[in-house]
Structure 1
């Protein structure tokens, strides 16, 4: 009793051990089967057979396995189960194909059927149902044994066949004896079955064994061999009976020896019989068995995947996708190289072994075209774009046809079929609606395609007549072409394929979809008024960026402002709005970008957002520091502020005054402010994106602080930057007239602003970013930060970054770091170039 309870308690463990055991048996059978099949022999056989005949053998072999599904239909009817048809078909095929080759007297069949069909049933009920099915498995062979026996008795049977009459007699007795026992309604293990189920099992067994014989005879007929079907049938039945009694998996050995001896006696050449048996095993056992193994792996994988919350499937699909991309690029490269330096694949052994597709040089033209197209397809699959799926399948199918024409090789076929299967299995990885050809991708593909093309041109130069007799030529004679005409044909193919590649790439790109909308000011005001914002939120009024609203534009709570360069969406600052919704808003934004193959780059973000984005797999670099003035402690008193105090007093005594103007501004005011701005710029182009530029629409969104001279003329101004926070203040656009404003005017303006906001009750004043402050300047700095420093500092001539930090240092009490975050699929060099371009793109001064 205790033993029984222990078995029940560890039932799951025993089921797992059984599946592992089956997997080990399957693996061992694959290894033993590989020893009986010669790859070289198969290649020579297939080379002598037409594609049509080989295809017919494969189709007939698969069709002859189908009747066995009837066993499982009846089994589930007895168990009163209504399983999904697809599940029943897959599991039935798997069980029967595995049992055919590695059945061990039906033990695997019984075990697997218990595993897949008896999960919710009692062990006793399963045993009863399986025993009823099991006794009918041999009915078909028994019926055929009777037919074979009659052929021996009444037909012109050869003396060789006569010796097996006892086997045929014994086999024919199985059906009537067992059938009579099964009619009993008292025996739950053999009888007690409905008549329609009994008849269906008899029919299934009969057609199963007719199918086995049909598959065998069809192979011989398609090989063009001459034989007598009525002599073949008794021999085949007797050999099958002896093989089954031996309980050798798939009847390996026993069946083969008998068939070779018998067919040789019928004047069929021994070599032809060996090939016949080889093809029969391949198409009736091996191919269905491999499909069964795939289904077996799938079913085990489903259980394993459910146990670990779907992680194994995601991991496997990701690995399959990486392998798929590699194989596409690898195949494309090898196809081009095989047409470019064909002799190298004959002379260099390791290169020949590396090449998965070995074709004749005469087919140079399509090899070049297919090779380059595979590279473009690899980019589409790498980008996970749905539009690449069917063209890539077509390319693989075209290459399969091409391989048949160029000389059939089983290794080539297996490689292409594997690639095709991986494509189909990993289809779910293709979810994007378009491809945006990133600079990183263009660099990789450009280098690869450029290298292959340059190699071809170099070979053309190497084959020029005046170089034909150089001494060094003997060391690299694999670079020689049969003729200049052949090389020219290949070069023309490269020119043709260049156009085809552009068309293919353009198809994959589709009609470019732009994320986000133009900034609707009313909606922006609604979000900022309701939920607040940050010191960068006000830049949205520049209207030089797109806006993404979350959850939608009708009822927004959060928005992102960004500009797009290539495939990079450069997000300015932190998101604005309801901070409680930031995590889900960031996720929705990234997912929307990802669907259209854009990569967000988050520019000048705070530490809080860095922590959120790092969970999404983003890398980050420190991009600078934001200077904050502590207004609660700010004063001009003391030794440290002696210079600023003297400067402020000097400008005040000279009659300069400070004033804050409220919007909307008059035309006269705007004209004066524009004049000051233009003089300050002195012909330089304004920067946008992360900095305010002169725009009347933008200036009218907030107050402007101005400095007037003795005559009341505005000589300097600073536009307010609303922070949408109660305790903080900031400014954006700062300009002065170099002719009218004395030295120190901007310091005077800052000091007056500090006093103004102190009175208004603000606690901090945001002086803005000091880009690249303390970034990449240390020997231990991250390499990404050092690259960023070099590129951004070299590419920007608008500010002296070091001088900007030194100036702000006079007032800043606190420095807050700011970061740039980018996807790991982006290269930091290209991220910095994108930031430079977006910072310096033409601005709209509306």
Structure 2
């Protein structure tokens, strides 16, 4: 056998690693910009400028920061009134404050700040679209303030603007400012003239009145002015004439930070402000460092503490229920908050290890501990910081092992911070985070080994970028130190630079080792017991529904009941465990099977999704704490009451007779004889696939696989001796249900061929006394998108009505209606919130790809219809 080497597609590699490449590119650009702007600045000068900041200026900056965040709370208050869902100020203030502190520091506002808003507002009675409207209106208010204040600064700026080598003349600046302010005035005018909300299909966004628009602008100006002033008062040599240039620099920095989506805009914001702002860069950089702490980090710590205390209190009130089920903990945001806090604590320890120590404290420490102990503590503190960063994904996944390890590392980090330089500030932060972690301990309930915690490439790339940035800060701090080989082995109380090098190397080695283990080590193993194919075949003989035949596609895993009388089939995609349909077999065994698969998914840090379940499973899914979404409806024909001689089926009778007059004939080929016609069937299938431009799908559908097709009887539409269409038959052994799987035809098949084929298959099933015939599911059918319906229902109804160009939702429903069926609902049950969106994404990838056969699971061989209990075999 010749093996052809696979050539890597550069574009495919870029798409696969786009997040990591984006992080790396942004880091390189940010460091390059900061290096260019701080080339003539030393860390000693910046530290001196920081120490020179008057307490009065710091107090003013704190007061202005508080005023800015107070104004931010009214963004949500006003947005809630504009959309007609007012809430008390305390709820809006909590949502706004926590949302903006998270998005300011972490970027990706829709995922970070948006999730905080969603969590708080849905508990207050709002639904998803209402939260989206609040975010849209509040974001518009925020950007209105930024744009207007930038326009005003451009209009009143007296001189030219120099950015790098580009000089923009005053006339151009004034024209740009005038246009910006005119656009804002035009926007207010449009609000005055527009009647009704802004509509995008079924989603509507209420527009503010003139009065509300003016209040929006006023709040935005107060917020932006207070935020800019908090930075302005920290610049010692700032004078009033510098205010327009300063405001312009601030606005441009905010825009640049938002565009890059770098967490907190760190580096980018500072680089833009330094590039635009005239004056001494040393004092400006010191002011930016102080501003980063006052305006970003302090409110973030307050928000995390506030939310963690709130979640911990809720956890304690419901602890008994959580111990029984654990599902409420899974819906909390405490794991996410503590993951963020752990990452920030780790970054703080790494940053502390990269900066010079305070000599007065080191002198006091020298009288207490020996030098080797201090040196070891310095390296240990950086390793603890790296460990906290690596544990953050485990905390996010609610692992009890990550909780214990993070708590130990935080306490150790506090001890090492004191022993390496009496850094009581870092020690206080570590102990506070350990306390918050202990307070929310009920949220970390998963008993899974830490070695099975998946570390994504994007997260590892982010950690590498963070470590690189901190290393640059250290190199900037020790720019005056001449580097040589002997520096690595220099141990002294004043040897800050050698300690920085050794600590950075230790952290880099730890991160590299974990990365190599992640890429080269064995993948996390989930223990799943292989199932005997004979046991699966026995369960299939008792199946009441034909979709149980999906067990034969070879791309499923199976879970068998203890008595062997029932099973469920599932597959894993990413972190999602997708169960296909209802369990098969004895209904009394269904609850135990579903709870077992839920426990398995939970232990594997995954999320469970039940796909295309029927009404009997709904109570079980609700009891398991899953969110229910209607998927569509299945068309069912009750065959004992079926007759073609009804007015509703007149068009079907006419289509069958017309096709018969064109020379079509019907034939059933038993499974044992299918290999004789297999080449002809494959030719029909290939032609149909080329005509449709489709690829084979999997998991919830059969596919043309020669072994798979040979397991079923096949219905043929013949034009003479030529096969023009076929369908393989799904038949339950107990005669409860008949259906079809693949339905494919040639491009030159006579008009009405598929109607002809269905007509005779249904007639054939009636003659053999099957109880019912399934025409399959019409996705998104039967979902009422009324105004007061849930958000998912309105979205599904919208797609059903207007998504015909992407998928024939309405056409498929209309075709099945020709057979006058009754409709039975089918549902999806999955996790709540954003996790459901992630699970549905994994489901679409699973269905859209053909998975290889499972080597470690049951593969059932032989034709199904050859089973002794099969009506066909009889």
TM-score, scaled to structure 2 = 0.49
**Structure 2: how far apart are the matches of 1:544 and 1:793?**
33
1:512 partnered with 2:512: no
Shift in Å, 1:363 = 9.5
Q: 1:574 to 1:327 in 2, by over 3 A?
A: closer
Per-residue CA deviations over 1:485-508 (Å, capped at 9, x if unaligned) read 99999987886564255368689x
SS in 1 for 2:545: coil
SS in 2 for 1:836: helix
SS in 2 for 1:513: coil
1:732 to 713, 719, 741: 741
Alignment-derived partner of residue 621 in structure 2: 613
**Structure 1: how far apart are the matches of 2:662 and 2:326?**
76
8 Å contact kept, 2:375–2:499: no
Alignment-derived partner of residue 333 in structure 1: 344
Alignment-derived partner of residue 707 in structure 2: 697
Within 5 A, what are the aligned runs for 1:267-286? none
SS in 2 for 1:380: helix
Number of matched pairs: 503
SS in 2 for 1:827: helix
Alignment-derived partner of residue 117 in structure 1: none
1:653 to 651, 661, 672: 661
1:565 to 563, 567, 573: 573
Alignment-derived partner of residue 126 in structure 1: none
**Structure 2: how far apart are the matches of 1:826 and 1:390?**
27
**Structure 1: how far apart are the matches of 2:440 and 2:465?**
32
Shift in Å, 1:764 = 2.6
Q: 1:396 to 1:506 in 2, by over 3 A?
A: farther
Shift in Å, 1:836 = 1.7
Alignment-derived partner of residue 290 in structure 2: none
Alignment-derived partner of residue 525 in structure 1: 537
Shift in Å, 1:606 = 0.7
8 Å contact kept, 1:389–1:430: no
SS in 2 for 1:665: helix
8 Å contact kept, 2:348–2:426: no
1:717 to 677, 702, 726: 726
**Structure 2: how far apart are the matches of 1:645 and 1:373?**
72
8 Å contact kept, 1:658–1:752: yes
8 Å contact kept, 1:324–1:419: no
8 Å contact kept, 1:521–1:541: no
Q: 1:318 to 1:589 in 2, by over 3 A?
A: closer
Within 5 A, what are the aligned runs for 1:420-431? 429-431=445-447
Alignment-derived partner of residue 537 in structure 1: 548
SS in 2 for 1:560: strand
| Higher RCO (C-alpha under 8 Å, 6+ residues apart) | 2
Alignment-derived partner of residue 250 in structure 2: none
SS in 2 for 1:692: coil
2:753 to 738, 745, 770: 745
**Structure 2: how far apart are the matches of 1:795 and 1:843?**
27
Per-residue CA deviations over 1:429-469 (Å, capped at 9, x if unaligned) read 45124676679x988x689859967986998999999xxxx
Shift in Å, 1:424 = 12
Alignment-derived partner of residue 813 in structure 1: 821
Shift in Å, 1:517 = 5.7
SS in 1 for 2:707: helix
Q: Which moved more, 1:493-502 or 1:655-664?
A: 493-502
**Structure 2: how far apart are the matches of 1:603 and 1:793?**
22
1:371 to 353, 376, 385: 385
**Structure 2: how far apart are the matches of 1:327 and 1:635?**
64
Shift in Å, 1:564 = 1.0
- What CA RMSD, in Å, does the superposition of the two structures yield over aligned residues? 5.1
**Structure 2: how far apart are the matches of 1:736 and 1:627?**
22
**Structure 2: how far apart are the matches of 1:791 and 1:491?**
53
SS in 2 for 1:824: coil
2:561 to 535, 546, 550: 550
8 Å contact kept, 1:705–1:717: yes
SS in 1 for 2:742: strand
SS in 1 for 2:546: coil
Q: 1:379 to 1:536 in 2, by over 3 A?
A: same
Shift in Å, 1:641 = 3.1
Q: Which moved more, 1:455-464 or 1:624-633?
A: 455-464
Shift in Å, 1:733 = 1.3
Q: 1:685 to 1:337 in 2, by over 3 A?
A: same
Within 5 A, what are the aligned runs for 1:246-395? 326-327=337-338, 329-337=340-348, 340=351, 369-385=383-399, 388=402, 391-392=405-406, 395=409
1:706 partnered with 2:720: no
Shift in Å, 1:586 = 1.2
**Structure 2: how far apart are the matches of 1:544 and 1:317?**
29
Alignment-derived partner of residue 765 in structure 2: 757
Shift in Å, 1:667 = 3.0
Shift in Å, 1:687 = 0.9
1:629 partnered with 2:637: yes
SS in 1 for 2:741: strand
Per-residue CA deviations over 1:715-762 (Å, capped at 9, x if unaligned) read 2111111245544321111111223x2111001111112212222223
Shift in Å, 1:609 = 0.9
SS in 2 for 1:669: helix
SS in 2 for 1:536: helix
8 Å contact kept, 1:393–1:420: yes
SS in 1 for 2:673: coil
Per-residue CA deviations over 1:245-289 (Å, capped at 9, x if unaligned) read xxxxxxxxxxxxxxxxxxxxxxxxxxxxxxxxxxxxxxxxxxxxx
1:675 partnered with 2:675: no
Per-residue CA deviations over 1:804-831 (Å, capped at 9, x if unaligned) read 2222122242122211111238623222
Runs of 5+ consecutive residues of structure 2 not aligned to the other structure: 1-315, 358-373, 480-495, 854-860, 862-874
1:840 partnered with 2:853: no
1:767 to 771, 775, 791: 775
Per-residue CA deviations over 1:478-529 (Å, capped at 9, x if unaligned) read xxxxx9999999987886564255368689x975224546664321111122
**Structure 1: how far apart are the matches of 2:845 and 2:505?**
38
Shift in Å, 1:708 = 1.4
Per-residue CA deviations over 1:154-176 (Å, capped at 9, x if unaligned) read xxxxxxxxxxxxxxxxxxxxxxx
SS in 2 for 1:807: helix
8 Å contact kept, 1:567–1:599: yes
**Structure 1: how far apart are the matches of 2:797 and 2:321?**
39
SS in 2 for 1:721: strand
Shift in Å, 1:656 = 1.5
8 Å contact kept, 1:718–1:731: yes
Q: 1:785 to 1:463 in 2, by over 3 A?
A: farther
Alignment-derived partner of residue 593 in structure 1: 601
Per-residue CA deviations over 1:163-221 (Å, capped at 9, x if unaligned) read xxxxxxxxxxxxxxxxxxxxxxxxxxxxxxxxxxxxxxxxxxxxxxxxxxxxxxxxxxx
**Structure 1: how far apart are the matches of 2:400 and 2:516?**
17
**Structure 2: how far apart are the matches of 1:831 and 1:425?**
26
8 Å contact kept, 2:403–2:441: no
Per-residue CA deviations over 1:50-87 (Å, capped at 9, x if unaligned) read xxxxxxxxxxxxxxxxxxxxxxxxxxxxxxxxxxxxxx
SS in 1 for 2:551: helix
**Structure 2: how far apart are the matches of 1:793 and 1:454?**
51
8 Å contact kept, 1:567–1:598: yes
**Structure 1: how far apart are the matches of 2:679 and 2:336?**
59
8 Å contact kept, 1:434–1:510: no
Higher gyration radius (CA): 1
**Structure 2: how far apart are the matches of 1:548 and 1:792?**
34
**Structure 2: how far apart are the matches of 1:336 and 1:617?**
36
